[in-house]
Chain A
């Protein structure tokens, strides 16, 4: 007879725990389909000139940070100085993927805020963005020496994320060789 009294309490408690756990999660953060897989191939002109091209072969042989950005993206402006800082502190080159932008606006943006990128691929139609599973800019990928994607940040990088996750991850990958 006692279980009749206890059961509702147990059920309600279990519900509270489950709903509480649900609150700690961010539903807009999707599990990435790319971790541990080779970076999608692409062949794009660079932001500087239509005659220069950059392909996924650029990732071979060095750890690379790939940052998808656009001049119209407010959050990209927010993480911009952190991208610069990560590159400076770890020595990892950053490849930019300029997404659905115009050359003029993108170059002006880099001129105004500084250019942390070793090279920027220019993707005005956003086709390569779709191949990379980009839902919204900014997104940042850690690409290993063999061209495998090791980590992905959706949205603007925060200082905590940079210090606690990204930089340790990059250093660890560097040491692994």
Chain B
């Protein structure tokens, strides 16, 4: 058992340099940017995953490219531009605001506005100001009170 465990540890230990080989040249700040960039870039084959999440060979290649260009001192925008040039704006999870993406950016706010207008319209219709009360009919009130005083238990008797 102890042998198995130490063997496992040895295996994991020897695999570590392989796992980090492509990012070995990066300092801490670059490594942070590396992870941020990978999460913002979409994998072109395995759609709806970022290249950070994907195991596809192409995603691995792209991660290597990101690491290499970071090590060369390129800026985030330059690296993104490099990939957009090849795969189109599609690779960006945060596409820039342009004529083809304005629906994407403004659509939700337009929908929210339309929804608000609709809700306000409906609420106004439903909670219309109450009808003005009819003036107090004092004569009728006096009559009702009088009949009640005369026989307060008349109505209750039937029920019990």
Contact = CB atoms under 8 A, between A and B. Distances in A.
Contacts of A31: 88, 90
A131 B47 contact: no
Interface in B17-66: 44-45, 47, 57-58, 61-62, 65
Given A27-B47, A135-B58, A136-B58, A33 B85 contact: yes
A130 B51 CA distance: 14
Interface string B63-86: 001000000000000000000111
Interface in B103-118: none
Interface residues of B, number: 15
Contacts of B87: 30, 33, 133, 135
A103 interface: no
A33 B44 contact: no
Interface in A113-134: 126, 130-133
Given A100-B57, A135-B58, A136-B58, A130 B47 contact: no
Contacts of B45: 135-136
A133 B82 CA distance: 11
B78 to A, nearest CB: 16
Contacts, number: 34
B86 A33 contact: yes
Q: Is the interface of A mostly helix, strand, loop or mixed?
A: loop
Nearest to B62: A130
Most A CB contacts (10 A, CB to CB) among B61, B85, B86, B88 go to: B86
A32 interface: yes
A126 B88 contact: no
A132 B88 CA distance: 11
A151 B155 CA distance: 92
A40 B85 CA distance: 10
Contacts of B85: 33
Contact of B86 (A27, A100, A132): A132
Given A31-B90, A130-B62, A135-B45, 13 more contacts: A27-B47, A28-B47, A30-B44, A31-B88, A32-B88, A33-B85, A33-B89, A100-B57, A130-B61, A133-B86, A135-B44, A135-B58, A136-B45
Interface of A: 27-28, 30-33, 40, 100, 126, 130-133, 135-136
Closest 6 CB pairs of A and B: A33-B88, A135-B44, A133-B86, A30-B90, A133-B87, A136-B45
9 contacts: A30-B90, A31-B90, A33-B85, A33-B87, A33-B89, A100-B57, A133-B86, A135-B45, A136-B45
